[in-house]
Structure 1
């Protein structure tokens, strides 16, 4: 079991561990995904990332013919809504990471192309929330939206690069916390959750304890994880932390760190997740971790943080 939380522990976690950049999403788009459909369909289908429990809305720039949709494995979706020009999808846990499904719709008018087929790729935790499908030409508004999204992503990269440069040349210890603006007048607060969270029944590892920490503009979770007997060592590849409830907000994950792979031994192992914290951290969050390939996951519901 874990010891009582302390400021010394979180200082060591946040400052002595390297900041690991989250892995690239490859072909997955995490903002608004724009797809342009040419008059002659391409051989390679456009990929749209979906994930169990997360909503993806696909909007077409023309009305769809009634009852024209075909979807592979439609019975494995929690919800499939076919509208005048939209398709709303919520995959269920019956879909496995790595699955690929075809979605085909026909347009109501006579313009080319008369139909479009998209390839839905199942990711363990990441999904495109909104897809805009345009035929032949794109509007000025769509270019402006894409430019805005790219500028926001570029600004995040610049901020992250600046942070890494400062942390690599900083004085270390509490002085660096002050320099980075991570210490408020209240210092660093912590909250021992013990078992005040809910583990998903499909978890590959069990969580024996959890402590949440909060600083000026950062938050962190320290987990104690135990691997199951006879299972291979487990190393987290990435994580998401999402506020529970309707339209849950995902926090920006900065670091997923563990000192070594988690073996199938009696000894529990530490894993730390650090996130960019908004001013409002109220409510409960869901933490999801996965190893490379997403075969074995760990999901915790009801995670909370100390009050400011």
Structure 2
């Protein structure tokens, strides 16, 4: 490639005029001190558009599955389960909790139906466990969540679940964060979202029990 410095990289994009798929191709040309070419010929094998669309959909599905698997492995590494998890929450004293399903106010257009809700307030932190029904045609997995208090202040929450909630099935999601307990002494708004796509869940009037002083004898 003449006219370029040695090792210089130039990205080129070729547009094909016949209208077949793929419609374009991009590649890099790298400068060389002794070799150069005045012309570069580009050939491509034509492929039906439906084949390319199917491969793109498969790639997106594989990427989504990898993200969900990564989230599950990270959760298993950082969060104890079963009795171990309960014992861990009890490490600083009795855990205050309350069922809030009858009080929460789901937003119209929520992607999933809330069939169970319970809030937890160990000293110095808050958490909410939701039981959700997925009425959609695709699995749903929480990628993140945020809790907003009555003043508009927001706290980002970590989200954990064993697996994505399959279509037409029930599943549990737990969200929580370490935060000053007095910040959420009033009703809050909780919002969860998925990794890819626009399906969200928003719940109003989320409350937490007042935290009692943790015992120091244990």
With the shorter chain as reference, the TM-score category is 0.5 to 0.7
Structure 1 segment 28-47 matched on structure 2, within 5 A: none
Quote the Cα distance in structure 2 between the aligned partners of 1:177 and 1:298: 26
* Corresponding residue of 1:228: 135
| CA separation of 1:291 and 1:306: change in aligned 2, threshold 3 A | same
* Corresponding residue of 2:208: 305
Say if 1:233 and 1:263, in contact at 8 Å, map to a contact too.
Answer: yes
Pairing 1:251–2:155 present: yes
The DSSP-based 3-state class of the residue aligned with 1:293 is coil
- How many Å apart are 1:287 and its aligned residue? 0.7
Q: Which whole-Å deviations, capped at 9, do the CAs of 1:64-92 have from their partners, x for residues lacking one?
A: xxxxxxxxxxxxxxxxxxxxxxxxxxxxx
Quote the Cα distance in structure 1 between the aligned partners of 2:132 and 2:79: 28
Pairing 1:237–2:143 present: yes
* Corresponding residue of 1:282: 185
Q: List gaps (5 residues or longer) in structure 1.
A: 1-165
Quote the Cα distance in structure 1 between the aligned partners of 2:115 and 2:149: 22
User: TM-score, normalised to structure 2's length?
Assistant: 0.54
RMSD: 2.5
Structure 1 segment 39-188 matched on structure 2, within 5 A: 176=88, 183-184=92-93, 187-188=94-95
| CA separation of 1:279 and 1:204: change in aligned 2, threshold 3 A | closer
Say if 1:252 and 1:276, in contact at 8 Å, map to a contact too.
Answer: no
Quote the Cα distance in structure 1 between the aligned partners of 2:79 and 2:111: 34
Say if 1:238 and 1:289, in contact at 8 Å, map to a contact too.
Answer: yes
Say if 2:116 and 2:130, in contact at 8 Å, map to a contact too.
Answer: yes
1:193 aligned to which of 82, 100, 106: 100
* Corresponding residue of 1:28: none
User: TM-score, normalised to structure 1's length?
Assistant: 0.39
Consecutive aligned runs of 4 or more in structure 1 exceeding 2 Å deviation:
172-178
- How many Å apart are 1:251 and its aligned residue? 2.2
Quote the Cα distance in structure 2 between the aligned partners of 1:167 and 1:235: 17
Quote the Cα distance in structure 2 between the aligned partners of 1:223 and 1:167: 17
| CA separation of 1:192 and 1:175: change in aligned 2, threshold 3 A | closer
| CA separation of 1:225 and 1:284: change in aligned 2, threshold 3 A | same
* Corresponding residue of 1:217: 124
- How many Å apart are 1:196 and its aligned residue? 0.9
